[in-house]
């Protein structure tokens, strides 16, 4: 085997905790590399192409782009920062030779920073550390740099990995500096560090072709695109290749188009060679983790192992009284086809059929992972129901184990006692406390994953919206015992019809109301949270009795407390074991699994 160094190329992944500014930094790198014409108006966070990514301000899917810098092609992969999308991160790191680790100049290393860095160090990737957002008034870059070093030591980085270069930057302002006091206003120092510190790929161009597929993309014109880095050999447009399947079988197929990345797009090429990141069209039966190999000498690469799901819930066809009124795709056949499509690219997801043909058990890396799937399907016109999320436990040596998460919260000091009491009830154990400034502290806990279900909304209420919460999967540990049950029951509609102001006025003293006047409801639909622990049936459609004294505006004068609008995540956090979230393109409703009140009471007695 004769290895040559391809000095004309660098392959890097950008890794960071969510909201530490990596997508914004990539924007600036693209602009300064001349990818965009000077007069072209470019929207911010141009790499976040998906509607959900833009709305939530997070990266969900990895993206490929490429920059030409002084004759060297820099392939950049922007990866998700949230641990729920760790399935994406793990695959992407197999494609690159180094990483840009971006850390917020005030927040410092956070749980997902540790998660993605651990993966990168295990693969022996060369890191370049970027302390970002140093233009913030409260930035503390030197302290953050020390914290990054401590994190590398904690993750048992090698002596060579501990010699990481550091660049101080502002992705928003578009500058990077080797020393904070420098005056330059461009990213030149960052580009130089990438060229000099990230190793070029060392490859064998004469050996038979090998390429593992790390991502599947879709294009309306050419269909499925298999994306990955060519490990060895060469491939040409139109070539017949072998596909080494995950089940051990080998099939042959023909490439219809071969692309390399250029800027934000793809450019069709006639040939690519080891070290290139490419997209290949025409291989309709290829899946993530499988190997594209030489037709005459098919040798598979190791299949990419992905960490297993930790949270599960059931998806079922919608059988509410309003079923079929808003969605386009309603049947079990529609849902099965959609799940099959999702599994082609979402490898961290697990979907299993159940005894019922209308119900599936869907498992993912966390509640955000599953809620993004639910929201995406809803926007595509699907209608269905989902159950309360549940964590996946496992048994080892006869002992029940459950997933433990590392929880990091930044809060005003005045809320510390209440938050610690709340987390203690959820079986959380404090591991560290850091004073961030005069009135804010950072608390770190190990907490069962099930203890975090429903916690975010309570956390924001307790901290009056001033708290910051982050968590990531840590390990499995012995089961910590039962958690306190939900402290309130549900308010349940007894009639089908439209919600009236008078109905809400009568109900609002009982608890928190989720619906507005004019909302259509059905029997068994949840219209609020009871202040007490029991469920309560209420006629929310009740009309005020007419009498001789009533004026036409009397109903309008009724004083209503504003209703609480639940987001999808809040709805999933709210429901109990005997409740569903009904999801349609236009509404998120909460309901009892058994709609009939008499049958429900009978079931509860049994």
- The annotation places the binding site at 19-24, 132-135
The phi, psi pair for 208, rounded to 5°, reads: -60, 150
**Strands (E) located in 63-165:** 63-69, 72-78, 98-104, 126-132
Asked if 150 and 510 touch (Cβ cutoff 8 Å), the reply is no
Q: What is the DSSP string of 180-248?
A: TT----SSHHHHHHHHHHSPPPEE-SSSPPEEE--EEEEETTTEEEEEEEEEESEEETT-EEEEE-TTS
- The answer for residues whose C-beta is within 8 angstroms of residue 63's C-beta and 6 or more apart is 47, 49, 77, 78
| Helices H / strands E in the chain, number of each | 14, 38
- In the numeric block, which tokens belong to residue 480? 């910590």
How far is it between the farthest Cα atoms of the chain? Answer: 99
Contacts of residue 271, Cβ cutoff 8 Å, sequence gap at least 6: 234, 235, 236, 237, 258
What are the CA-CA distances from residue 348 to residues 16, 218, 474, 579 (Å)? 19, 18, 17, 26
Structural tokens at position 40: 């072209």
The Cα angle at residue 113 between residues 109 and 118, in degrees rounded to 5: 120
3-state secondary structure of 250: strand
b/e map 485-498, b = 16+ CB within 10 Å: eeebbbbbbbeebe
> How many alpha carbons lie under 13 Å from residue 2 in its C-beta half-sphere?
2
Where is the binding site for GTP, in residues?
19-24, 132-135
Q: How far is CA 489 from the centre of its chain?
A: 30
Closest CA to 323 of 358, 371, 361: 358
Select from 601, 604, 594 the least CA-distant residue to 525.
594
């Amino acid at each position: 085997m004769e290895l040559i160094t391809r000095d004309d190329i660098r392959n890097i992944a950008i890794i960071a905790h969510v909201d530490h500014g990596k997508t914004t930094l990539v924007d600036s790198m693209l602009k300064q590399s001349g990818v965009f014409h000077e007069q072209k108006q470019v929207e911010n966070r141009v790499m976040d192409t998906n509607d959900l990514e833009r709305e939530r301000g997070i990266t969900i899917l990895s993206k490929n782009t490429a920059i030409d810098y002084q004759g060297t092609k820099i392939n950049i992969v922007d990866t998700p920062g949230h641990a729920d999308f760790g399935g994406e991160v793990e695959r992407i790191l197999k494609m690159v030779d180094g990483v840009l680790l971006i850390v917020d100049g005030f927040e410092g290393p956070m749980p997902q920073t540790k998660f993605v860095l651990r993966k990168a160090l295990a693969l022996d990737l060369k890191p370049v550390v970027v302390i970002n957002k140093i233009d913030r008034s409260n930035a503390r870059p030197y302290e953050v740099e020390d914290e990054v070093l401590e994190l590398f030591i904690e993750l048992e980085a090698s002596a060579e990995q501990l010699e990481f270069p550091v660049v101080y930057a502002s992705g928003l302002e578009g500058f990077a500096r080797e020393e904070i006091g420098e005056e330059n206003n461009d990213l030149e120092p960052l580009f130089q560090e990438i060229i000099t510190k990230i190793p070029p790929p060392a490859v064998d161009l004469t050996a038979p072709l090998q390429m593992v597929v790390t991502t599947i993309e879709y294009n309306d014109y050419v269909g499925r695109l298999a994306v990955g880095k060519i490990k060895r050999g060469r491939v040409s447009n139109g070539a017949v290749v072998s596909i080494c399947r995950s089940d051990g079988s080998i099939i042959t197929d023909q490439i219809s188009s071969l692309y390399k990345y250029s800027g934000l797009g793809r450019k069709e090429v006639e040939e690519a060679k080891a070290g290139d990141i490419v997209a290949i069209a025409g291989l309709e039966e290829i899946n993530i983790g499988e190997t594209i190999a030489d037709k005459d000498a098919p040798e598979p690469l190791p299949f990419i192992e992905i960490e297993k799901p930790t949270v599960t819930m059931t998806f079922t066809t919608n059988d509410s009284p309003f079923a079929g009124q808003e969605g386009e795709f309603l049947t079990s056949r529609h849902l099965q086809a959609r799940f099959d499509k999702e599994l082609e690219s979402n490898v961290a997801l697990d979907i299993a059929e159940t005894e019922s043909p209308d119900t599936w058990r869907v498992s993912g890396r966390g509640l955000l992972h599953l809620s993004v799937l639910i929201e995406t399907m809803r926007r595509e016109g699907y209608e269905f129901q989902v159950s309360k999320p549940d964590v996946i436990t496992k048994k080892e040596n006869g002992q029940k184990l459950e997933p433990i998460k590392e929880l990091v919260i930044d809060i005003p000091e005045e809320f510390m006692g209440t938050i610690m009491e709340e987390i203690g009830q959820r079986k959380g154990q404090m591991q560290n406390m850091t004073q961030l400034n005069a009135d804010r502290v950072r608390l770190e806990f190990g907490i069962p994953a099930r203890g975090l279900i429903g916690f975010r909304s309570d956390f924001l209420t307790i901290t009056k919206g001033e708290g910051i919460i982050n968590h990531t999967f840590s390990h499995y540990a012995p089961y910590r015992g039962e958690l306190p049950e939900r402290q309130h029951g549900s308010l349940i509609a007894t009639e089908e019809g439209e919600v009236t102001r008078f109905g809400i006025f009568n109900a609002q003293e009982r608890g928190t109301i989720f619906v507005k006047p004019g909302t259509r409801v059905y029997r068994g639909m949840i219209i609020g949270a009871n202040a007490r622990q029991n469920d309560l049936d209420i006629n929310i459609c009740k009309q005020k009795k007419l009498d001789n004294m009533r004026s036409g505006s009397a109903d309008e004068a009724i004083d209503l407390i504003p209703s609480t609008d639940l987001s999808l995540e809040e709805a999933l956090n709210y429901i109990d074991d005997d409740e569903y979230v009904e999801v349609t393109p236009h509404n998120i409703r909460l309901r009892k699994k058994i709609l009939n009140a008499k049958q429900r009471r009978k079931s509860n007695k049994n």
